[in-house]
Amino acid sequence: MNLIRKIVVGPNPKDAMAYYVGMKAGDKRVSFIEDDEAALYRHNVRRYKIYIEDEDSTYLWKAIEDQPVLIEYDCNL
C-alpha cells in the first residue's frame, strides 16, 4: 500500500519543487511515489522514486536521493 501523496524537495519548502500523485508530466501523470526502503538498508541512502504512467505502462521518472524532503501522506485509507 502506497501512502505518499506528495513530496516537496528542497531545504526551504516555499522555494522547493513539489511532486504529487496525479501531477501532469508532459503527456503522462505521476501515478505513485515510493519510499525506496531497500536503498536505505543496503546503502544507507534515503531515496524516493517517482513513477509516471500513460495508457500502456508505468515508468520510473525520477529518483530523489539524500535531499531534504517534506512528505505528505494520503489519509484516505
Cα 27 to Cα 36: distance, rounded to the nearest angstrom: 25
For residue 30, the enclosing domain spans 4-73
Please state the pTM of the whole predicted model: 0.88
Burial class (CB in 10 A: 0-12, 13-18, 19+), 16: middle
Edge to edge, the sheet with strand 17-20 lists 17-20, 4-9, 69-73
For 17-35, write each residue's pLDDT tens digit.
999 999 999 899 999 999 9
Q: How many domains does the chain have?
A: 1
For 31-61, write each residue's pLDDT tens digit.
999 999 999 999 999 999 999 999 899 999 9
pLDDT score for 2 = 66
